[in-house]
Amino acid sequence: MTKFSALFQPGRIGTMELKNRIVMSSMGVLLVDSEGAVTDYLLDYYRPRAAGGVGLVNTQCASVNVEAKAMYCLGIFDDGFIEGLKQLFQVIHEEGAKVCVQLMHHGYLIATAGLLPPGITARVPSITSWMPSDMPIAEVSEQDIDGYVEDFARAARRAQQAGADAVEFHACHGCLPGAFMSPVTNLRTDKYGGSEENRMRFPLRIVERVRQTVGKDFPLTVRISASDEVDDGTTIEEAMRQAAMFEEVGIDAINVSAGIEYMTGLNIPCYAYPEGPMVQMATKIKGAVSVPVIAVGRITPELAEQVVAEGGADFVAIGRPLLADPQLANKLKDGRHDDIRPCIYCNNCVRLALPMTCTVNPWLYRESIPLPPAVQKPKKVMVVGGGLAGMQAAVLLAERGHNVSLYEKNNVLGGQWNIATQMPGKEVFASFTEYLKRSLDNSKVSIKFGTEVTKDMVLETKPDAVVVATGATPLLLNIPGADGKNVVQAVDVITGKAQVKGKAVVIGGRFIGIEVSIWLAEQGKDVSIITLMRLGEDGNKLELFTFKTLTKRLIDLRVPIYSHTPVVGITKGSVVTQWGQEIFHIPADTVVMAVGAQSENKLAQELKGLVPEVYKIGDCEKPRDAASATYDAARVAERI
């Protein structure tokens, strides 16, 4: 008997019987074509997840209206989409899961993720003071509302025609109907704004019309934000009343998320949130309705079991952990818990940067191109560096049948990741190092600890291929005073090698700088942060959900942020900055450097032309992030 017995009880949403209580949460992945139609890539993405043992697959959001469609969002606004959707639902059914289509009008959400198609205007209940004036935005009229109600009804009919088992109405995260529901985004004075009843009028009209269209027995769920997590926004008490109103008009289950996407990071909670930050809200909503409730958000298998067993929710929706490991549900059922590639909530899958991938699953979005079969002629491969890139490459190369030795100059595996995991809140990151260590233990890789590989050692070993994964080390600014005694590296502060005394100034506004500043401020230290560009930017934007979460912490902690501020020098007691022609001294007893990293690629350069095959992977190729490190590792394992 699995220890997850509550999760594997059958369940029911309206007339839909489900084999267990695990729902794959909606995740908008960019695998549709430019019109919004289903592609083979999309089928390849859903197939393993449906086969992975979940009871219900909630599809990514599907746009009910062409003007509401974010770039590369699934479309359901025309009958022409039905054929493709039919194929998608067939694949999901063949793999043993039921399927529910999420119907969405993006509203202002379309404008926020950088996914606004050219020529499209974002539609909102009210234009508010915080909306950028240079963005195409328009308030919807009462006539528009009548049209949107029909759009949802037509989309639901298409879903039904294509063979879906249910539809979900997206009314959360600040999408158009969700924005009508919230007092911070709906400032209207007509019958669609003001009182709670008025703000619910548009979403309830949609449900009534959809219900009329699909008939009384077709399962219909709604996803709501149980709290906006902003001042003057929807509270849990109001959300409970909203849920009850939805039940009254014929909703069969309430999917309880939270947050307005353009204001907080809560709806895709990164590692900086505790486990299950929205679970208690789901439990409160459950107290307000008699239909089933679905809980979501950073829910580990153990928490999922507890929530369902204790009746805190009837179902759990799991999102990112199924990107990390599509087989999660089957592995839980079969007692193979240790085999699960654990999601670490790093949100690299949400960053709008290449490669689009998952830190722990470098096959995400390439599901149909698995690791090539074992080689006929195994090669002698040296993998140099036991960080994430080297560990992942060694495991996969051994899986392909090569004779692999992994060399690490220290006595532990993990590299920089071991520093990252020491940051409060990031402890969950260690579960990936542990997973890779288990994979190495189960492989034939020979691990040589305490061995710093040199060119001579490689020439003596005579490998067929060398994978150089020697990582990166922290950069220092090239300015007067940077070598002073009062200057320390952020990584040394994190590991406790360096002490921060008196007033601290952190230089660097990317994740490490922001995280160290938060950490110091939480310890009661007087800390400010200086960054050359806007906070979070160095030409590329940081992942938005984590950025919003961490920046909100900086603000709550009242950490002064000096953005667009070049640092030109460091003295014994200050950081010297320049704004235009003016020089200012910011008092600093300790200066903490968080200005990026430089590749450790000397060995790779020395080996050029001396060994048949030499590859650089991970931060050794270019300092980036953990997802790029494992992505490089998988690609090199495919090539050798």
Ligand X SMILES: Cc1cc2nc3c(=O)[nH]c(=O)nc-3n(C[C@H](O)[C@H](O)[C@H](O)COP(=O)(O)OP(=O)(O)OC[C@H]3O[C@@H](n4cnc5c(N)ncnc54)[C@H](O)[C@@H]3O)c2cc1C
Task: Rank residues 250 and 342 by Cβ distance to ligand SF4 and give the closer one.
Answer: 342
| CA distances, 306 to each of 56, 255, 284, 315, 338 (Å) | 20, 18, 16, 11, 19
Under the binding rule (CB under 6 A), the answer on residue 88 touching ligand FMN is: no
Which residues touch 262 (CB under 8 Å, ≥6 apart)?
Answer: 108, 109, 112, 174
- Where in 411-537 does DSSP place strands (E)? 446-448, 465-468, 472-474, 487-489, 504-507, 527-530
296 binds, among ligand SF4, ligand X, ligand FMN, none (CB under 5 to 8 A by kind): ligand FMN
Q: What are phi and psi of 365, to 5 degrees?
A: 70, 5
State in angstroms the smallest separation of the CB of 339 from ligand X: 23
Under the binding rule (CB under 6 A), the answer on residue 511 touching ligand SF4 is: no
**Using CB under 6 A, which of the segments 20-28, 129-137, 239-247, 556-564 binds ligand FMN?**
20-28
Whole-angstrom Cα Rg for the chain: 26
State in angstroms the smallest separation of the CB of 167 from ligand SF4: 26
Q: From its phi and psi, is residue 9 left (phi > 0), alpha (psi between -120 and 50) or beta? A: beta
Which residues touch 241 (CB under 8 Å, ≥6 apart)?
Answer: 196, 288
Task: Rank residues 349 and 640 by Cβ distance to ligand SF4 and give the closer one.
Answer: 349
60 binds, among ligand SF4, ligand FMN, ligand X, none (CB under 5 to 8 A by kind): ligand FMN
Q: Judged by CB under 6 A, which of 20, 25, 327, 421 binds ligand FMN?
A: 25
Task: Rank residues 599 and 628 by Cβ distance to ligand SF4 and give the closer one.
Answer: 628
Please give the full DSSP string across 560-615, using - where no structure is assigned: -EE-S--EEEE-SSEEEEEETTEEEEEE-SEEEE---EEE--HHHHHHTTTSSEEE
388 binds, among ligand SF4, ligand FMN, ligand X, none (CB under 5 to 8 A by kind): ligand X
| CA distances, 413 to each of 1, 140, 360, 408, 598 (Å) | 35, 56, 16, 7, 20
Contact between 307 and 284 (Cβ < 8 Å): no
State in angstroms the smallest separation of the CB of 347 from ligand X: 8
Closest CA to 90 of 135, 158, 43, 131: 43
Under the binding rule (CB under 6 A), the answer on residue 28 touching ligand FMN is: yes
**Using CB under 6 A, which of the segments 315-323, 432-440, 446-454, 603-611 binds ligand FMN?**
315-323
State in angstroms the smallest separation of the CB of 404 from ligand X: 14
State in angstroms the smallest separation of the CB of 328 from ligand SF4: 11
Q: What are phi and psi of 183, to 5 degrees?
A: -70, -15
Under the binding rule (CB under 6 A), the answer on residue 60 touching ligand FMN is: yes
**Using CB under 6 A, which of the segments 297-305, 356-364, 422-430, 629-637 binds ligand FMN?**
297-305
Under the binding rule (CB under 6 A), the answer on residue 234 touching ligand SF4 is: no
Structure tokens of 161? 């025609």
417 binds, among ligand FMN, ligand SF4, ligand X, none (CB under 5 to 8 A by kind): ligand X
Chain centroid, CA 265 distance in Å: 10
Q: Judged by CB under 6 A, which of 101, 296, 491, 506 binds ligand FMN?
A: 296
Contact between 380 and 462 (Cβ < 8 Å): yes
Task: Rank residues 30 and 244 by Cβ distance to ligand FMN and give the closer one.
Answer: 30
Whole-number Å distance between alpha carbons of 569 and 75: 54
Closest residue to bound ligand FMN by CB: 319
Which residues touch 586 (CB under 8 Å, ≥6 apart)?
Answer: 505, 528, 530, 562, 574, 575, 576, 577
Under the binding rule (CB under 6 A), the answer on residue 56 touching ligand FMN is: no
358 binds, among ligand FMN, ligand X, ligand SF4, none (CB under 5 to 8 A by kind): ligand SF4
Question: Binding mask 241-280 vs ligand FMN (x if CB under 6 A, - otherwise)?
Answer: ----------------x---------xx------------
State in angstroms the smallest separation of the CB of 329 from ligand X: 26
Whole-number Å distance between alpha carbons of 143 and 311: 43
Angle at 62 between CA 129 and CA 256, to 5 degrees: 70
| Residue 530: exposure state from Cβ atoms within 10 A (0-12, 13-18, ≥19) | buried
Q: Return residues touching ligand X (CB under 6 A).
A: 346, 348, 359, 384-390, 407-410, 415-417, 419-420, 452-453, 469-472, 491, 494, 511-512, 600, 603, 618-620, 624-627, 629
Which neighbouring-strand residues pair with 139?
124
Whole-number Å distance between alpha carbons of 372 and 25: 30
Under the binding rule (CB under 6 A), the answer on residue 358 touching ligand SF4 is: yes
Q: What are phi and psi of 210, to 5 degrees?
A: -65, -45
Task: Rank residues 51 and 364 by Cβ distance to ligand SF4 and give the closer one.
Answer: 364
26 binds, among ligand FMN, ligand SF4, ligand X, none (CB under 5 to 8 A by kind): ligand FMN
Q: Judged by CB under 6 A, which of 13, 16, 23, 27 binds ligand FMN?
A: 27
**Using CB under 6 A, which of the segments 204-212, 290-298, 512-520, 612-620 binds ligand FMN?**
290-298
629 binds, among ligand FMN, ligand X, ligand SF4, none (CB under 5 to 8 A by kind): ligand X
115 binds, among ligand FMN, ligand X, ligand SF4, none (CB under 5 to 8 A by kind): none
Q: Reply yes or no: is the peptide bond before residue 355 cis, omega within 30 of 0.
A: yes
Residue located via tokens 């040296």: 382
Task: Rank residues 223 and 341 by Cβ distance to ligand FMN and give the closer one.
Answer: 223
Whole-number Å distance between alpha carbons of 89 and 520: 50
| CA distances, 217 to each of 14, 155, 305 (Å) | 7, 17, 29
Task: Kindly identify the residues of this chain, within the stretch 316-355, that bind ligand SF4 according to CB under 6 A.
Answer: 320, 323-324, 343-349
Report the 10 Å Cβ neighbour count for 296: 26
Task: Rank residues 42 and 436 by Cβ distance to ligand X and give the closer one.
Answer: 436
At position 371, the amino acid (one-letter code) is: L
268 binds, among ligand X, ligand SF4, ligand FMN, none (CB under 5 to 8 A by kind): ligand FMN
Task: Kindly identify the residues of this chain, within the stretch 195-234, that bind ligand FMN according to CB under 6 A.
Answer: 223
Q: Write out the residues near ligand FMN by the rule CB under 6 A.
A: 25-28, 60-61, 102, 170, 223, 257, 267-268, 296-299, 318-321, 349-350
Residues engaged in binding ligand SF4 (CB under 6 A): 320, 323-324, 343-349, 358-361, 627
